[in-house]
């Protein structure tokens, strides 16, 4: 294994992202070295100020709404054939492309990125930092999702036909019972964590990887808690869904499923394959 320089110790300020191997230079790295790239990125995120995490999370929550908008546009304009569902789900990729390529704080990415530093140094201190980041980012993502939904519902922002398509897409997404929503959140969490693991070696294919993995989530009718929060918000603000049904029947089960898939399954497996090879 190629030597990976030791990460700089925390001296009260955020460590430079460029220290050691970074994501842009990692195309040929081995699995232990990819782990080190992601661990260092997670360590950087855990040291970011709360206000930075909050506003980055707000931006991610707002812009992930482009997934619902993109899917609705394709649903509205594609011919009503059995193949429409396959192709309209490419619109779901749009918000994820913007958020992931824009390096915004998306909760489901942090089910692996910020957990690796804890697995490397399991302690109450690191666990508290992970809990702090998760709380801030998830809360900000949901707030951003509701802000975006409220904007779309302002009269004349969208055409009646397009808004109707967004409502239709949202009703389909949140029609699952809580247990089904939870179970379908597990593979979605695994796929997002796997995407984060693969991106350091993605090189010029990063965009294609994001599109492929997020299309698979949508086309498989899996559930993602942040994109789903936009759909829940549209229905709650539009008076179609109650707050308890939206949060208790969809957001909470999907949140737990995404955490189980991203952290307890994929991150644990990724750690298991490298922990004997890293310091």
Name the burial class of residue 112, with classes exposed (0-12), middle (13-18) and buried (19+) by CB atoms within 10 angstroms of its CB. Answer: buried
pTM of the predicted model, to two decimals? Answer: 0.85
Distance separating alpha carbons of residues 130 and 23, to the nearest angstrom: 21
Domain-embedded: residue 18: no
User: For residue range 196-242, what is the model confidence (pLDDT) as tens digits?
Assistant: 988 887 778 889 999 999 999 999 999 999 999 999 999 999 999 99
Any idea which of 79-83, 190-194, 210-214 has the lowest mean pLDDT?
A: 79-83
C-alpha span between 175 and 201 (Å, rounded) = 37
3 within some domain: no
80 belongs to a structural domain: yes
The pLDDT value recorded for residue 17 is 39
- Model confidence over 37-79: pLDDT tens digits? 888 888 888 999 999 999 999 999 999 999 999 999 999 999 9
Most confident of 29-38, 107-116, 226-235: 226-235
36 in a structural domain: yes
pLDDT tens string 131-162: 999 999 999 999 999 999 999 999 999 999 99
**Which residue, 266, 222, 241, 235, is CA-closest to 145?**
235
Can you give the CATH number for the domain in which 220 is found?
A: 1.20.1080.10
Residue 258, pLDDT score = 95
Residue 23 pLDDT more than 80? no
Work out how many domains the chain is built from and give that number: 1
Q: What is the pLDDT of residue 247?
A: 96
Average pLDDT, the chain: 87
Does residue 132 belong to any structural domain of this protein? yes
**Owning domain of residue 144:** 29-274
In-domain check, residue 8? no
pLDDT at 248: 95
In a domain, 11, yes or no: no
- List, in sequence order, every beta strand (DSSP E) within 97-217: none
Domain membership of residue 213 (yes or no) is yes
């Amino acid at each position: 294994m190629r030597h990976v320089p030791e990460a700089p110790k925390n001296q009260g300020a955020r460590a430079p992202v460029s220290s050691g191997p970074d994501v842009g230079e990692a195309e040929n790295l081995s699995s232990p070295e990819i782990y080190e790239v992601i661990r260092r990125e997670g360590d950087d995120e855990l040291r970011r100020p709360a206000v930075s995490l909050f506003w980055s999370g707000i931006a991610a929550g707002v812009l992930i709404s482009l997934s619902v908008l993109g899917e609705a546009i394709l649903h509205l304009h594609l011919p009503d054939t059995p193949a429409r569902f396959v192709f309209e789900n490419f619109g779901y990729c749009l918000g994820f492309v913007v958020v992931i390529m824009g390096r915004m704080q998306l909760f489901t990415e942090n089910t692996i990125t910020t957990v690796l530093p804890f697995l490397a140094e399991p302690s109450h201190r690191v666990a508290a930092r992970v809990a702090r980041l998760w709380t801030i980012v998830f809360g900000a993502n949901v707030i951003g999702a509701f802000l975006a939904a409220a904007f779309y519902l302002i009269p004349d922002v969208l055409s009646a036909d397009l808004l109707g398509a967004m409502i239709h897409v949202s009703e389909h997404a949140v029609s699952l019972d809580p247990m089904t929503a939870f179970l379908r959140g597990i593979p979605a969490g695994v796929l997002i964590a796997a995407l984060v693991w693969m991106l350091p070696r993605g090189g010029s294919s990063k965009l294609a990887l994001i599109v492929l993995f997020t299309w698979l989530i949508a086309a498989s009718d899996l559930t993602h808690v942040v994109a789903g929060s936009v759909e829940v918000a549209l229905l709650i603000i539009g008076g179609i869904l109650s707050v308890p049904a939206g949060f208790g029947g969809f957001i909470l089960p999907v949140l737990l499923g995404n955490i189980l898939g991203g952290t307890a399954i994929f991150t644990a497996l990724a750690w298991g394959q490298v922990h004997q090879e890293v310091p």
